[in-house]
Amino acid sequence: MAVPGELESRVMSTWTTRHWAVAALSTLATAVLIAVPTAVLPSPWFWREISTPGGAYPVLGLVSILSGLVAATYVRAPQGPGGRRASAGAMLGFFAVGCPVCNKLVLLVLGYTGAMTWFEPVQPFLAVLAVIGLAAALRARLRSALACPRAG
């Protein structure tokens, strides 16, 4: 019986330069697409009313890396399991690192007080769900690549 992670590692060890390039570019793109509008990365276009908590940076890193790795699994075979989990994980990561009172959707639904009282305390749980969802998507994609490799 294989050790958890061994099968996935075996698949990733066969990745080409193209896979790793897609992983790297997708990681960078995800980081920028999440960090700029949530103002985790300061920019002239977006700002935060509340300072970025220290936990947002590792969450952003994990979500970006896992998103990049999941994207690399689509280099040869765009079909397969994991797509919905990856999308949900990336979206949860966006909400997990964003400013609770800067997010217009959260403000519209909960108002300022609700955002601070209800949404801000939930953000760490969103971060955990984001990482779990992306890790599950990556695992599913890698296992499907090993179970049913594409010929040619």
Q: Is residue 8 part of a domain?
A: no
Domain containing residue 130? 14-147
Does residue 130 contact residue 60 with C-beta atoms inside 8 Å? no
Tokens of 104: 């217009």
In a domain, 129, yes or no: yes
Q: Any residues with CB less than 8 A from the CB of 34 and at least 6 apart, and which?
A: 40, 60, 63, 64, 90, 93, 94, 97
The single-letter DSSP state of residue 24 is H
With respect to residue 131, please indicate whether it lies within any of the assigned structural domains: yes
For the segment 99-134, what is each residue's pLDDT rounded down to a tens digit?
887 777 787 888 888 888 888 899 999 999 999 999
For residue 5, being part of any structural domain is answered with: no
Residue 3: inside a domain: no
Is 7 a member of any domain? no
Evaluate whether 42 touches 110 at the Cβ level (below 8 Å). Answer: no
What is the Cα–Cα distance from 103 to 97, expressed in whole angstroms?
A: 11
Residue 61 maps to a domain: yes
How would residue 36 be classed by pLDDT, with cut points 50, 70 and 90?
very high
> Would you say how long the chain is, in residues?
152
- Residue 70: inside a domain, yes or no? yes
Q: Would the pLDDT of 2 be above 70?
A: no
The domain tally of the chain equals 1
Please name the residue that has the structure tokens 């040869």: 76
> What backbone torsions phi and psi does residue 81 show, to the nearest 5 degrees?
-75, 160
pLDDT digits (tens, 9 = 90+) for 44-100: 888 888 889 999 999 999 999 999 999 999 886 545 555 666 677 888 888 888 888
C-alpha 3: how far from its chain's center?
25
